[in-house]
């Protein structure tokens, strides 16, 4: 009788690269003649994004875009002025080559620091640095034994649901929208600040296509006719069809969205007043379609006739990816100082140094970082001033997957923010933080890599008896008992009326010796 084995290829996703690249930013900027001279610099911000990338085996190249915005007060005028510049950098780095699949890349750009000072009435000196954390995940194939035939082999199995087929596609989309401000608002004289983030919504498979829906949430600070600053918040929805090969309704889809560029410009409405914002957004969608399959793995084996030696290997089995969309609220208090805060004109929050750690054994995600709040106020002399404060936070979110290990590719971004200006001059800020991304759970199992049978000699038994007595203890494995005695598990279970894999109580067992 010949021993035959069926083998199966099971994919597993691993992080093959996780590093950060830094880029210094320097700018010596001279104001154009039509801008007023500098009286006082209010604030400076640097917003980095990765606009596009290209991968060739072993090499990643990408374009880094850093948008610089400086707010200042002009000489003889309390109105806020804005200086904006866009700097681009071409970056590249070596990535470990993967033979099984092309890596999927996740980019997290951030500002490390930025400083701005006026070196003259019309000259600004900017020094700063940005960095991009780059993570790459790739799939490799691992071979496992799924079945064994012949030689009176006894098999111990473990059934898992694996993400057998996984497809990934990246699509860059452009959105444009005209936002009408309404007749009640002042006409816009200039845009002082813009920021935008993407909120991914439903992702579904329709007629063999992946459909990703979501919205871009934009915050814009404008200057009106009376030179007052006013902040606006609005959304731009999107619905995109992403082409992938051989999709059907058995697949499930997930998508991650990242805004790579956003602009807002004032335009005239039907009455000729600039009460319209022409907005454009560039969004990168990273979409994944997954099809699961139930696989039965052989985790242990023995023969009731021949000596057998098994080689086990630890395996990680991919489960279907799960979208992550959670929120939590954190707060910070800012004292206005001696100059006071007569009026709050703008509130901006961001988070930095964010760490997100899945804890599968506890069923939660631990998130920590710093909440940074910037409040633009008018002081007692009606001069613009910027108040800033940072506060550490640590939160736990539910991990709504059951798995032995979980990879998390995601980001934390500020959502709705509110403030309260107290009579004591303290500004209390509350910020809702959105946590978005994708969870990649996996199951840890022990599989068989090889089985060696000695077909030249049979197992030596203690006697020719057909039945043995054995004292079993509570919690003992029926499989281990049968393996030691060289008999079938089913025979022990049937003879002793056992229904589970372990003994529920201690006592004597009848062990039939059967092949």
What is the DSSP-derived secondary structure letter of residue 247?
A: -
330, 391 contact by CB (below 8 A): yes
pLDDT at position 332 is 92
Classify burial at 64, counting beta carbons within 10 Å of its beta carbon; exposed 0-12, middle 13-18, buried 19 or more.
Answer: buried
pLDDT at 463: 58
271 Cβ contact list (under 8 Å, min separation 6): none
What contacts 63, CB < 8 A, 6 or more positions away? 50, 51, 52, 53, 88, 89, 90, 91
* pLDDT tens readout for residues 389-420: 999 999 999 998 888 889 888 889 898 889 88
What whole-number distance in Å separates Cα of residue 189 and Cα of residue 481? 84
Q: Residue 393, Cα to own-chain centre: how many angstroms?
A: 19
Cα–Cα distance for residue pair 3/148, rounded to 1 Å: 7
Domain map (residue ranges) of the chain: 1-140, 151-304, 322-437, 461-515
Residue by residue, DSSP assigns 144-164 as EEEEEESTTEEEEEEEEEEEE
Q: What is the pLDDT of residue 2?
A: 63
Low-confidence ranges of the chain (pLDDT < 50): none
Per-residue tokens: 370: 């710093």
CA distances from residue 266 to 214, 224, 297, 499 in whole angstroms, order as listed: 25, 11, 62, 74
Q: Which residue shows structure tokens 């915050």?
A: 219
Q: Which residues of 256-283 are buried (b: 16+ CB within 10 A; e: fewer)?
A: bbbbbbbbbebeeeeeebbbbbebebbb
Secondary-structure class of domain 461-515 per CATH: alpha beta
Interior angle at CA 420, CA 417 and CA 423, nearest 5? 165
Task: Provide the H-helix boundaries in 123-274.
Answer: none
- How many beta carbons lie within 10 A of that of residue 167, not counting itself? 17
Separation between Cα atoms, residue 257 and residue 170, nearest integer Å: 10
pLDDT at 462: 58
Residue 173, pLDDT score:
94
> What's the rounded Cα separation, in Å, for the pair 170 and 259?
13
- Give the contacts of 99 (CB within 8 A, at least 6 positions apart): none
Q: Any residues with CB less than 8 A from the CB of 333 and at least 6 apart, and which?
A: 389, 426, 427, 428, 429
Q: Contact, 122 vs 37, CB < 8 A?
A: yes
Cβ 209 vs Cβ 242: under 8 Å: yes
């Amino acid at each position: 009788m010949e021993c035959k084995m069926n083998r199966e290829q099971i994919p597993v996703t691993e992080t093959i690269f996780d590093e950060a690249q830094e880029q210094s930013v320097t700018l010596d900027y001279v104001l154009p003649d039509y801008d007023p001279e500098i009286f006082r610099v209010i604030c400076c911000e640097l917003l980095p994004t990765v606009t596009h990338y290209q991968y060739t085996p072993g090499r990643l190249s990408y374009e880094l875009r850093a948008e610089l915005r400086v707010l200042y007060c002009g000489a003889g005028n309390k109105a806020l002025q804005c200086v904006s510049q866009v700097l681009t950098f071409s970056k590249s780095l070596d990535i470990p080559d993967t033979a099984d699949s092309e890596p999927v890349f996740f980019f997290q750009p951030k500002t490390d620091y930025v400083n701005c000072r006026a070196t003259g009435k019309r000259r600004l000196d900017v020094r700063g640095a940005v960095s991009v954390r780059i993570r790459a995940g790739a799939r490799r194939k691992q071979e496992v034994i799924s079945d064994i035939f012949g030689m009176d082999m006894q098999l111990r199995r473990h059934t898992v649901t694996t993400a057998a087929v996984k497809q990934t596609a990246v699509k860059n989309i452009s959105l444009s929208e005209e936002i009408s401000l309404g007749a009640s608002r002042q006409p816009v004289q200039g845009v002082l600040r813009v920021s935008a983030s993407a909120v991914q919504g439903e992702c579904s498979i329709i007629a063999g296509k992946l459909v990703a829906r979501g919205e871009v949430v934009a915050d814009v600070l404008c200057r009106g006719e009376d030179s007052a600053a006013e902040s606006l918040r609005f959304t731009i929805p999107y619905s995109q069809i992403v082409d992938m090969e051989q999709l059907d309704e058995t697949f499930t889809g997930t998508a991650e969205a990242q805004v790579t560029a956003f602009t807002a410009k004032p335009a005239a409405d039907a009455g000729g007043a600039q009460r319209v914002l022409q907005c454009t957004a560039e969004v990168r969608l990273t979409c994944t379609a997954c099809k699961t399959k139930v696989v039965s793995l052989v985790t242990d084996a023995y023969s009731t006739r021949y000596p057998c030696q098994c080689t086990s290997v630890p395996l990680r089995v991919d489960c279907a990816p799960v979208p992550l969309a959670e929120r939590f609220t954190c707060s910070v208090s800012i004292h206005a100082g001696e100059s006071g805060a007569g009026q709050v004109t703008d509130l901006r929050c961001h988070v930095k140094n964010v760490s997100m750690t899945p804890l599968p054994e506890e069923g939660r995600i631990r998130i920590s970082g710093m909440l940074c709040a910037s409040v633009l106020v008018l002081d007692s002399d009606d001069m613009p001033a910027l108040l800033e404060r940072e506060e550490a936070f640590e939160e736990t979110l539910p991990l709504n997957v059951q798995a032995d290990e979980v990879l998390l590719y995601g980001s934390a971004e500020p959502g709705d923010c509110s403030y309260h200006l107290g009579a004591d001059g303290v500004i209390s800020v509350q910020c809702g933080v959105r946590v978005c991304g994708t969870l990649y759970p996996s199951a840890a199992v022990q599989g068989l890599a090889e089985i060696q049978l000695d077909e030249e000699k049979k197992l030596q038994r203690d006697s020719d008896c057909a039945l043995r007595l054995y004292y079993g203890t509570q919690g003992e494995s029926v499989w281990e008992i049968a393996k030691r005695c060289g008999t079938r598990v089913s025979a022990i279970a049937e003879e002793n009326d056992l229904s589970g894999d372990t003994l529920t109580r201690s006592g004597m067992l009848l062990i039939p010796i059967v092949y």
